[in-house]
Amino acid sequence: MVIPRPPFPIGYPPIGAINFRTICECIEMDDNLLFTKILGISLPWLVKQVVVDEKSQRVDIYVDHEPGIRAMCPVCEKFYGVYDHAPERIFRHLDTCQMGTYVHVRLPRVNCPDHGVKQIMSEFGENGSGMTFAYESFVIRVARECSIEARARICGLGWDQSWNTLDRAVKRGLGRKEHRVPARIGVDEKSIAKGHKYESLVYDIDAGTVEYVCDDRGQKSLEKYYRQFSSDELAKVQAVAMDMWDPYIAATKAYIPGAEQKIVFDRFHIMRHVLDAVDKVRKAEHKALTEAGQQTLKGARYLWLWSQENIPVWRQPEFEALKAKDLKVCRAWAIKENLRHMWSYWHAGYMRKYFAKWHHWATHSRLEPIKKAARTLKRHLDNIVTYAKHRITNALAEGINAKIEKIKRMACGFRNRAHYRTAIYFHCGGLDLFPRPSAQQTLKFKTR
């Protein structure tokens, strides 16, 4: 009976106490076996040589295969003898005791009668990656948690290497993503820079993911997304939440069957229109009061933008005192607050009745910004009351927008739109980002 020797000599310190010299001594004992286990490779692959450079803190592992093997053509999956070997490739691997570790391998090629000379698929890393599957997965995990600079510093990567890893991860995830149109869609725009530069975003409301990102916020931008699907697939869309933005409306009506009953104008965007009107009333009144020598509304801007329940406790006495005065902004605020109750109804007919009363109040308020907002809502009422049936909003979009803003701060901006879109898909796309070898790769080598 042969008793296998332990990976470390008896009497050596526990793993937590192993230092660099101890590791070197163990490597001298059985370096090939040790790193075969570390890499997780099996026959016919084997470790031929390990070179440890203590000065540069680097470990180089040279991998080869046993002689007399047959390799699989990656196209037809038939096995042939090894024709020759491709030039050496170097893959960055997970660190060994905080030393950079690199795997050197020359992948065999076969001369397939049907497909010519072909290199086998790599079991170590993806083509063009320069990283093992394990190390690239590590980089992706780090990228999920920290900024670009921190990721580059932790992983020892340059800026371009770091972004290339994210690009590959996103392309990989999009390639694996199921081709389907979500049942309930959210459409929103996101400002990416000054000068009215926007991206259009499409969300899966139920999954909570970003499904599509494209330049601009025009009609053609959204049509690009819809054109990915057939008419039968688009007919399965149950509802689309969006702002009252004509290009999005036109694109949806052009492609979604029955869109007139499926479009739901987002309540938060609607309230934003009314909030803007309230703020215009406040500005005009504050200017008039200031010219008259009064500072009644000084520092009170946000009091009129908050909902009743969101006013801080310490500011409630101030707010109640202002409400007791005959202020135009107070009336505008009351009109705004009453509109919120419309979304509590579960029937479109009741929503219409409530809106009719509210509209009469708003248009007779003698507050021009409020009257203008009320007329705008009336023109779009048909797709406001569809909320009663579908009960959807773009609240998810607001949450994702906040996440995107956080990503922008972590990145200190983006060099270009492509990086911006990559970051959105990476963090918000719900994609399967991690590399993994194909199941076929375990069958590439076959002994004679």
Q: How far apart are CA 132 and CA 127, in angstroms?
A: 10
* 257: Cβ contacts below 8 Å, ≥ 6 apart: 231, 234, 235
Shortest CA distance to 167 belongs to which of 190, 186, 189, 148? 148
Q: What is the pLDDT of residues 69-81, one digit of tens each?
A: 888 888 887 888 8
Residue 304 backbone class (left: φ over 0; alpha: ψ -120 to 50; beta: rest): alpha
Q: What integer pLDDT is reported at residue 446 of this predicted model?
A: 53
Per-residue pLDDT tens digits for 383-398: 999 999 999 988 877 7
Summarize the confidence of residues 370-385 as an average pLDDT.
97
Looking from the CA of 375 toward its CB, the CA atoms found within 13 Å total 9
Is 194's pLDDT higher than 70?
no
The pair phi, psi for residue 395, each rounded to 5°, is -60, -35
- Strands 69-72, 108-112: pairing is unpaired
* Stretch 351-360: mean pLDDT: 98
Buried b (16+ CB within 10 A) or exposed e, 27-42: beeebbebbbebbebe
User: Residue 170 pLDDT > 70, yes or no?
Assistant: yes
Stated pTM of the model: 0.82
Higher pLDDT, 98 or 248: 248
Q: Domain-by-domain residue ranges, the chain? A: 15-124, 267-390
310: helix, coil or strand? helix
Q: Contact 52/22 with Cβ under 8 angstroms? A: no
When pLDDT is averaged across residues 125-152 and rounded to a whole number, the result is 87
Q: Which residue has the tokens 């990283």?
A: 131
Specify the pLDDT at position 442: 44
What mean pLDDT is reported for the chain? Answer: 86
pLDDT, tens digit, 9 for 90 and up, residues 407-426: 777 665 566 778 888 989 99
Q: What is the pLDDT of residue 369?
A: 97
Looking at per-residue pLDDT, the higher value among 149 and 287 belongs to 287
